[in-house]
């Protein structure tokens, strides 16, 4: 809070002091927003980061939507070219997803992070720099990548905490899982890697989902890191197909 000084008399100083105490009390009462409720379309008031509840350290794959639930997860963004298109498709089909965002992208595009949250989706910490060799680095390095990204995402979102941590390339370590879980971020895996980042063609992406869905409910897509037009078109086909097969869309378990 900025402080301003001037030639006030004793009365002015007394009033100023009283106002300062009032402002401190108000500031202390502000809670950090967090989208804890499934399907919530706006951040909910919750605990401060220091009081966050630890979660399970095991890597989550299951869906909170039950045996016929699927989890749509979107990695590496947000990206100004592709994230808005993905958000539009998700809204069109009434699907909530989990966005695994990197710290650098969150910092660069806070408006998009806020749009993700406002639409009722969940956030996931995907490290600062997407280093797929994190598991071969020191614990100090892993901590910095995870916790700096967490802070960047919270700031970009306007106070909404990431609820999961997905190691880039699946490079988890016992230390990184324990650290993330202690900050309320459930380690998050996947069951179906669509390989959309390789741009194999829309048909190949769709066929991978249809062929490998029996492996489990968490599907991996990307909305950044290159041309994602194939991903957008694949989602346009996959989302209604999943609904036609009787699947419901949920979030990864916490």
What residues are annotated to the active site?
75, 222
Beta bridge partners of 63: 252
Please, what's the b/e burial string for 146-177 (b: 16 or more CB within 10 A of its CB; e: otherwise)?
bbbbbebbbebbebbbbbbbbbbeebbeeebb
Relative to beta strand 218-222, strand 69-75 is parallel
SS3 state of residue 32: coil
Answer whether the bond into residue 88 is a cis peptide, omega within 30°.
Answer: no
The CA distance from 152 to 159, in Å, is: 10
């Amino acid at each position: 809070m900025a402080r301003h000084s001037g030639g006030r008399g004793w009365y002015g100083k007394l009033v100023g002091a009283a106002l300062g105490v009032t402002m401190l009390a108000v500031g202390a009462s502000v809670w950090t927003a967090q989208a804890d409720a499934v399907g919530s379309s706006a951040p909910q008031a919750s605990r401060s980061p220091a009081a966050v509840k630890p979660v399970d350290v095991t890597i989550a794959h299951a869906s909170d939507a039950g045996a016929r639930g699927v989890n749509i997860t979107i990695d590496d963004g947000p990206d100004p070219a592709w994230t808005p298109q993905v958000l539009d498709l998700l809204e069109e089909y009434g699907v909530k997803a989990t966005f695994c965002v990197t710290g650098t992208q969150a910092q660069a595009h806070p408006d998009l992070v806020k749009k993700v949250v406002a639409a009722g989706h969940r956030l996931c910490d995907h490290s600062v720099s997407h280093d797929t060799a994190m598991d071969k680095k020191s614990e100090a390095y892993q901590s910095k990548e995870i916790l700096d990204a967490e802070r960047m995402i919270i700031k970009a979102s306007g106070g909404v905490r990431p609820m999961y941590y997905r190691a880039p390339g699946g490079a988890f370590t016992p230390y990184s899982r324990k650290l993330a879980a202690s900050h309320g971020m459930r380690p998050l895996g996947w069951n179906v890697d669509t390989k959309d980042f390789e741009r194999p063609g829309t048909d190949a992406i769709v066929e991978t989902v249809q062929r490998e869905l029996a492996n489990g409910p968490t599907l991996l897509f990307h909305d950044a890191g290159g041309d994602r037009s194939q991903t957008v078109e694949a989602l346009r086909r996959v989302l209604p197909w999943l609904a036609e097969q009787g699947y419901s869309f949920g979030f990864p378990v916490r």
